[in-house]
Amino acid sequence: MTTTGPLELDDLPGVGPTTAEKLREAGFVTVESIATASPLDLAETAEIGEAVAKKMIKAARELVDIGGFKTGKDVFEQRKEIRKLQTRVPDLDTLLGGGLETQAITELYGEFGSGKSQIVHQLAVNVQLPESEGGLHGSAIYIDTENTFRPERIEQMVNGLEIADADPQEFLKNIHVARAHTSDHQMLLIDTARERAAEMRESDMPVRLFIIDSLTAHFRAEYAGRGTLATRQQKLNRHMHELFKLVDENNAVALVTNQVMSNPAVFFGDPTKPIGGNIVGHTATFRLYLRKSKGGKRIARLVDSPNLPEGEAPFMVEEAGLKPC
């Protein structure tokens, strides 16, 4: 895609302010989301005829230039750009095949306190390092839904890098944090993130990491009843789709967290299959299940990876950040 700024829904023919508002409320926040919608879904959502919906989708596809084919060579060229962001815990990086991949979504899931937010803080630091130090020489965008971003923690982790001249204040400048107050707000922030990333694309520190911590908390709280599960799933799917677009456009890493309940039947079942409801499903490319172990040790387990073997790696969370055991 060659556009620099995001397109607005109102740019589409036949979409006035009222329809745009209805679409946004339903989670269609970008032209891309319209381009990939089903005519029936869109027609019902916006209360328009199916023929109008089809026209709208066609126009959106032309605007964003998707829906066509890429050659194998294009795909090959784009995949050649994939970079790896290291946790700097050797066992964990090995488990991940060298680090977290750009152009992919990595999901961290586990119980409260399992280390999800610690990992995202650490990667918001590491992404800024040069590639020779395991970073991507880029900035981070951090969508914070539970008010758990802590600049003090970033400071400790920068000091914990033990890299001469690493100045915590400089690292903090390259982390762009936004609080999301509701799931709708969270989805809209993807748009803001896209704008911010486009502005920074030619800068010295382009955005190479998009964090959503927590991806699922608002969705889970707002769509709790049985009758709302399908809506929740649709919105989350759309949200993940937008995130994929974002990391694709920016050759960046997406890192999202998902809190799950412990399973009381864990002795009989698979502990990596959360009963709290895995509401992200199989959209994430890489999924890491985190759990606490003895002596402050934590274990990350790689689950359902498309191209890596399943396995586990231990790590510690210390004042200085993520460390090997």
Ligand X SMILES: Nc1ncnc2c1ncn2[C@@H]1O[C@H](COP(=O)(O)OP(=O)(O)O)[C@@H](O)[C@H]1O
Record the tokens describing residue 11, joined without a space. 């740019």
- According to DSSP H, which parts of 223-271 are helical? 229-250
Nearer to ligand X (CB atom), residue 34 or residue 154: 154
Task: In whole angstroms, give the CA distance from residue 265 to residue 252.
Answer: 38
By the rule CB under 6 A, 50 interacts with ligand X: no
- Residue 22 CB, shortest distance to Mg ion, in Å, is 33
Distance of CA 82 to the CA centre of its chain: 16
Cβ of residue 259: shortest distance to ligand X, in angstroms? Answer: 6
- CB under 5 A: which stretch of 58-66, 144-152, 215-223, 290-298 binds Mg ion? 144-152
Q: Which two tokens stand for residue 303?
A: 């689950």
Span near ligand X by CB under 6 A; candidates 35-43, 112-120, 160-168, 179-187: 112-120
- Which of 116, 208, 287, 291 is the binder for ligand X (CB under 6 A)? 116
Per DSSP, the three-state class of 290 is strand
Decide: is 318 part of the binding site for ligand X (CB under 6 A).
Answer: yes
Work out how close the CB of 114 gets to ligand X at its nearest, in angstroms, rounded to a whole number: 4
**Does position 122 bind Mg ion by CB under 5 A?**
no
- By a kind-dependent CB cut-off of 5 to 8 A, residue 234 interacts, out of ligand X, Mg ion, none, with none
User: In 3D, which of 3, 2, 30, 1 has the Cα closest to residue 15?
Assistant: 30
- Does residue 112 bind ligand X (CB under 6 A)? yes
Give which of ligand X, Mg ion, none residue 258 binds (C-beta under 5 to 8 Å, depending on kind). none
Among 87, 118, 250, 258, binds ligand X (CB under 6 A): 118
Select from 36, 102, 114, 117 the one that contacts Mg ion (CB under 5 A).
Answer: 117
DSSP code of residue 277: -
Task: Tell me the two tokens of residue 317.
Answer: 């969370």
- Find the binding residues for ligand X in span 8-37 (CB under 6 A): none
Position among 45, 117, 186, 258 found at the interface with ligand X (CB under 6 A): 117
- Ordered strands of the 253-259 beta sheet: 175-179, 139-144, 207-213, 253-259, 104-110, 286-292, 297-303, 311-318, 321-323
Answer with the entry of ligand X, Mg ion, none that 114 interacts with (C-beta below 5 to 8 A by kind): ligand X
CA atoms within 13 A on the CB side of 211: 29
> Binding ligand X by CB under 6 A: which of 39, 99, 115, 160?
115
CB-based burial label for 299 (10 Å; 0-12, 13-18, 19+): middle
DSSP string, 75-102: HHHHHHT--EE--S-HHHHHHTTSSEET
* Helix, coil or strand: residue 187: helix
Q: Number of residues interacting with ligand X: please give it, by CB under 6 A.
A: 12
The span of 20-28, 196-204, 272-280, 316-324 binding ligand X (CB under 6 A) equals 316-324
Examine residue 114 and tell whether it contacts ligand X (CB under 6 A). Answer: yes
Restricted to residues 147-166, the positions that interact with ligand X (CB under 6 A) are: 156
Rg (CA), the chain: 20
- Tokens 């299940």 correspond to 289
Contact between 324 and ligand X per CB under 6 A: no
Q: Which residues bind Mg ion (CB under 5 A)?
A: 116-117, 148
Residues that bind ligand X (CB under 6 A): 110, 112-118, 156, 317-319
